[in-house]
Amino acid sequence: MEARLLHVLRLIRSGTNKFEPKDGSPEEAKRFQPIANAVVHAKDMGYIRDAITMVDCCGGQKYFKTVITSGGLTYHGEEALADEIGPGTLIEQLVDEIAASDNKSALRNNWDRAIERSKSDPMGSITAANSFLESVMKWIVEQSGEPVPENRKKLFELTAKLVSDGLPSGQDSAILGHFDTILREIGSLRSKIGDAHGSTSATRPPTPNQALLSVNIAGSLALYLLDSFDEQNR
């Protein structure tokens, strides 16, 4: 499946129903046309239920101004998307939404690495998932203007403090205590069977399912941390 079509289907599945240029400039209108064409193509292929296009003319040429979809993906569209991106992608979509701004592009890149490697390179995927979590925590600390601790335990403690301000103390303890446990378990899995410290011939390699579990746990934690941090800074 063409990458732009795949991107459009993921956006529609996550709830996006209106596609238009970022602004009214001719440059943005030109950049928008391939996206609009991909949405229209998705409708023609039966991947989405409906799409309404708004067009304009300039210099004798028609171009899309806005495309509005309704009804979301069809069953055929869901199946096509699942075939392309595999199982366990809900977390990927959620993290994609919350980390969509340009200043979080490095986080997006780390997440992409973990997803891409989960099937072809399970060991590398576990390492990438762990690195993604660290990237999220470091980004939150940096955005807060605090120095980033080199020690992972201190990094987590500072991140937890930054995202939990305003929560009742009991709720804070219950939620973030579990996060600490999960983070340590992912780190342990990385150390035991990941490629961070090398491996021996006796090491049993992780399965793709174990790798995907690690990646999706990383996504769940990242979603909570980023969303909580955003809530604190609104």
The tens place of each residue's pLDDT in the chain, 234 residues long, gives 677 788 788 788 878 899 998 888 888 888 889 999 999 999 999 999 999 999 887 767 888 999 999 999 998 988 888 777 654 444 455 455 544 554 556 566 666 666 666 667 777 777 777 777 888 888 888 888 889 998 877 888 888 888 876 555 555 556 666 766 765 666 566 555 545 545 554 456 677 777 777 777 777 787 778 777 777 766
Cα R_g (the chain), whole angstroms: 21
Instruction: Sort strands 61-73 and 18-19 into parallel, antiparallel or unpaired.
Output: antiparallel
Q: Using DSSP, state whether 72 is helix, strand or coil.
A: strand
Q: What is the pLDDT of residue 42?
A: 94
**Under 8 Å CB-to-CB from 78, ≥6 apart: which residues?**
13
Q: What is the pLDDT of residue 41?
A: 94
Q: What is the rounded distance in angstroms from the CA atom of residue 31 to the CA atom of residue 35? A: 8
Residue linked to tokens 């992409």: 112
Q: What is the pLDDT of residue 53?
A: 94
Q: Using DSSP, state whether 45 is helix, strand or coil.
A: coil
103 class by beta-carbon count within 10 Å (0-12 exposed, 13-18 middle, 19+ buried): exposed
**Under 8 Å CB-to-CB from 11, ≥6 apart: which residues?**
19
Element (H, E) at 195: none
Q: Are 169 and 175 in contact (CB under 8 A)?
A: no
Q: Using DSSP, state whether 145 is helix, strand or coil.
A: coil
Closest CA to 225 of 163, 175, 149: 163
Element (H, E) at 64: strand 61-73
Domain spans in the chain, listed from the N-terminal domain onward = 3-83, 87-232
Q: What is the pLDDT of residue 201?
A: 47
